[in-house]
Amino acid sequence: MKFLTAVVVVDIQKDFTTAYKGSLAVNGTDQTYLKSASEATKKLKGVGLPIYATQDWHPADHVSFASNHKGKKHLETITLEDGRTQILWTDHCVQGTEGAKLLLDEKLFAGIVKKGTNSKYDSYSGFQDDGGAKTVLDKTLKSTGIKNLIVYGIATDYCIKFTVLDGMAAGYDVTVIRDLTPEIAPDTAKAAWAEMEKKGAAIWPSLDMAKVKKLL
């Protein structure tokens, strides 16, 4: 059976979770959340859907790390030499470190899409970085005839929002599972939900397998 729908699980990694006291932990990412995300992913895998994980995979000298900018701190904003605005973050998901590890069973995934690998560009989206360099995600999905995406993971305000928006821009119908998508801050999350919905994303309060089966 050829499926029209794929699942994209965004950045469920140690450094983003309170369960593992991550360097950039997001509220609502305790063991209960991880169990829910794992169970949902297994259900989707169980009906045969291909599942892809995105994984932040930064070099130690990444432009988004506050530690690489003298005198700058987490959440400060700077202007780069090429005019781009860059939010600075605590070091996180450095290539090869424990904090970069994915927390769901990798056997669930048809593929793992590494992002943020270029030290000069940030990459909230699973589809491309800030410099426009594409990841393998779109090419992989289109090569298998995928039309619809189910997206959840960490976190609403940034990596979910940009992955969803880029997915729709690439021609996919996108559904986001709200209770599997923790938020960094109420104001930026509220704006992200509104923007995603305005652009055409479907927002489900929780995973509904009856609805999923209609997308197969």
Catalytic positions, please?
11, 115, 159
- Between strands 173-177 and 148-153, the pairing is parallel
The amino acid at 2: K
Nearest CA-CA partner of 52 in 90, 5, 16: 5
Helix (H) or strand (E) holding 191: helix 186-198
Pairing, β 85-87 against β 77-79? antiparallel
Residues in CB range of 10: below 8 A, 6 or more apart: 53, 54, 126, 151, 152, 153, 154, 159, 160, 163
174: left (phi over 0), alpha (psi -120 to 50) or beta: beta
Q: Is the CB of residue 184 less than 8 Å from the CB of residue 210?
A: no
Could you give the CA distance from residue 104 to residue 9 in angstroms, rounded to a whole number?
Answer: 9
